[in-house]
Structures are given as structure tokens and as C-alpha cells.
Amino acid sequence: MANLAGVSYQTVSRVINNSPYVAEETRKRVHRAIKQLDYRPNRAARSLITGRSQTLQMINFNSTYTRPVMIFVGATKEFNYHLGISMLNEPSSQEELRVLLDEFTSRIVDGFIFFEPPFELNKIDINRLCRGAPFVQVGSCPCPNIPAVVFDQRHGVEQIMNHLLGLGHRQIAEISGILSNYDGRVRHEAFLNAVHVAGLKPGPSIEAGFTTPSGYAAACALLDRGEPFTALVCANDEMALGALRALHEHGVRVPEDISVTGFDDNVDVPYYEPPLTTVRQDLSVQAHQSIQYLVTMIEQTETPRYQQIIFPQLVIRQSTLAPRV
């Protein structure tokens, strides 16, 4: 192939691996030779030479999250890597993780992504289990010195509360997520702190399961209590959808009678009735930054290990309004 293209075999290798350090005309000649010879790269042979497989492995601890995983698959392809995916059903344990990592480190895996681990990852233990392969934690609460890319969810809840307080709401109810879950706990704590800072008493609150049916049941229970509130903060968009249904069935208008907010900004929330005010956690940005960081650690071994924080943004739609006087 090198002879056909009139270049060195090193140049052919750079073209195959998408190196930017190749002149465009040279790249075209190599691609013409590849097409003419119907060349297919032998990944196994290349792995033996480079010590890399161009493969990353995601360990997904949250079986309910499927859309984020597919976003990571697309982001990985941008960096010319492949992504393997393994699921650990909750409640997962560190022993299950050890067994799984033993399996993968016996092969050539260039790096690991730990998605939403339900327990703290110890840097020394994880380094040992990964046998030196770089890793990055995505979501949950990383320990110090663990390379991670996470959203500042407290910041997101603070934006929701500032929005509602700015509209004039003083009686604010909450449907929290599961409080044993990191996302549920941190959003609930941020809600309580915002109420405290505003000098208000917490409104009625109920814990639910991050699903639309659980949001529906929780909203019905809140209404049955009879405690007054003018705004309802839901810990995610699915529960907000269920709450909207419950409010409608009880003859409560949104936002005229009660304002409702969600969290995450799922793709369908602009089509809720009414379109939902929520907090956008841009999963595409998180996926791109995570893969870019992991690939950098793989290809530049001296890359510092640190935590990247992404600040979510409030998206105001038609489900919130100033309370009636």
C-alpha cells in the first residue's frame, strides 16, 4: 500500500489512525490506495504492536439510564475508539465490580468509564483493579483525586428556587427522588438549603421513585394532605410529567394555580402540557468531555487527574408563573 501511494509505511499508519499531521493531498493518495486494495485494518495485529485496542469499557451502574449510554457510544466514535458496555444491576457491590474488572483487564482495554456508581470509588483500589488503565467517573459524587466529569446539581436546584422565589412563590412543595440515591439526595438537600436561605419554612415534601407513575402518586398524595402550596419542585422530568397529570385530574391549573418544575431537560419536555420549566443537564457535553479526558489520559500518561464540573442551566418554559395574589 505504501508503494502504491508513494509514501512511507509510517505515513500510511498516520492516515489510518487519523493523525492531523498529514498533508491533505498525501491523505487522499493513501485513501485511494486503501480503496484500490480493499484494505481492512487488522485491529488484533495493531493491538499487539501498539499495546492498545482503541477500545473503552463503560461500567454502567444505573440500568434505568439508556439514552445517556447511547450518547456516549456516539461520542466515543468521534475519537476513533470503540465502546463496550457492561451493566451492573443495583444494588451492585464492589465485589461485583472487582470480578467484572478482572474479566476486562485480562483483555486489552485502553480505559474505563464508571457511570453513576452507587458507592464511592477508592482511588488506590480502582487503580489496582484497573491494572493501571486510565479511568473516569461520570456522575454521582467522586472522592477526591478521582478523575471525573460531573454536573453541579446543587447549582441547578438553586437556579430553580431562585426562579420561583423571584416570581414571588413562598409556599413551595417538593417531590424528591429516592433519597438513598445520590441525585435524589443532593437535589433534596439543595432544595431545603434554598428554602432556609430564603427564610421560609419547607413546604410539604414526599419521596418518590424518579418515574412518571411515582410522580403521579406523589402529587396525588400531596394534594390529599390539603397543605397549601403555589409551586411544586420535582426532582426529575419524569416525575413532573406524572405530577402534571395528577394536578389536571384534580382540576388544578398549571401554572395559573400551581407552578411546576422538573430537572434534566429530557428531549420531550417541550411537548408536555404545558411545556416544562426545568434544568438542562447537557449529556452530549458531558459525554464529549468525559471521552476526551479519558483519551487524553490514555495517550498522554502524565495528564493530571482532576474533576471537571459542568454547570447545568435553567430553561424557563410555560409551567411556571407568578402566584395569584
Q: What H or E segment, with its residue span, contains residue 278?
A: strand 278-280
Model confidence at 175, pLDDT cuts 50, 70, 90, reads very high
- Percentage of residues of the chain with pLDDT beyond 70: 84
Question: Is residue 47 scored above 50 in pLDDT?
Answer: no
Q: Please tell me the predicted confidence (pLDDT) of residue 90.
A: 58
Backbone region of residue 250 per phi and psi (left: phi > 0; alpha: psi in -120 to 50; beta: other values): alpha
Residues 208-223, mean pLDDT to the nearest whole number: 96
Q: What are phi and psi of 174, to 5 degrees?
A: -140, 140
Residues 44 and 39: their CA atoms lie apart, in Å, by 15
Per the CB < 8 A criterion, the answer to whether 203 and 171 are in contact is: yes
Question: Is residue 19 scored above 70 in pLDDT?
Answer: no
Model confidence at 216, pLDDT cuts 50, 70, 90, reads very high
Residues 271 and 238: their CA atoms lie apart, in Å, by 13
Model confidence at 180, pLDDT cuts 50, 70, 90, reads confident
Domains of the chain by start residue, with CATH: 2-41 (1.10.260.40), 49-146 (3.40.50.2300), 153-281 (3.40.50.2300)
Residues 156 and 148: their CA atoms lie apart, in Å, by 19
Residues 4-25, mean pLDDT to the nearest whole number: 67
Higher pLDDT, 125 or 51: 125
The single-letter DSSP state of residue 144 is T
Q: Please tell me the predicted confidence (pLDDT) of residue 160.
A: 98
Quick one: cell of 86?
Answer: 457492561
Q: Please tell me the predicted confidence (pLDDT) of residue 279.
A: 98
Question: Is residue 258 scored above 60 in pLDDT?
Answer: yes
Q: Please tell me the predicted confidence (pLDDT) of residue 126.
A: 84
Q: Please tell me the predicted confidence (pLDDT) of residue 14.
A: 66
Higher pLDDT, 122 or 320: 320
Specify the pTM: 0.79
DSSP string, 42-108: -HHHHHHHHS--SEEEEEE--TT--HHHHHHHHHHHHTT-EEEEEE-PSSP-HHHHHHHHHHHHTS-
| Burial readout 176-208 (b: 16 or more C-beta within 10 A, e: otherwise) | bbbeebbbbbbbbebbeebbeeeeeeebbbbbb
The lowest-confidence range among 72-86, 144-158, 208-222, 305-319 is 72-86
- Give residues with Cβ within 8 angstroms of 253, minimum separation 6: 247
Question: Is residue 234 scored above 60 in pLDDT?
Answer: yes
Q: Please tell me the predicted confidence (pLDDT) of residue 131.
A: 83
Residues 208-231, mean pLDDT to the nearest whole number: 96
Higher pLDDT, 35 or 307: 307
Q: Which residue is associated with the grid cell 499495546?
A: 51
Residues 325 and 319: their CA atoms lie apart, in Å, by 18
Q: Please tell me the predicted confidence (pLDDT) of residue 265.
A: 95
Alpha-carbon dihedral 294, 298, 300, 306, rounded to 10 degrees: 40
Q: Please tell me the predicted confidence (pLDDT) of residue 307.
A: 92
Residues 232-240, mean pLDDT to the nearest whole number: 97
Model confidence at 43, pLDDT cuts 50, 70, 90, reads very low
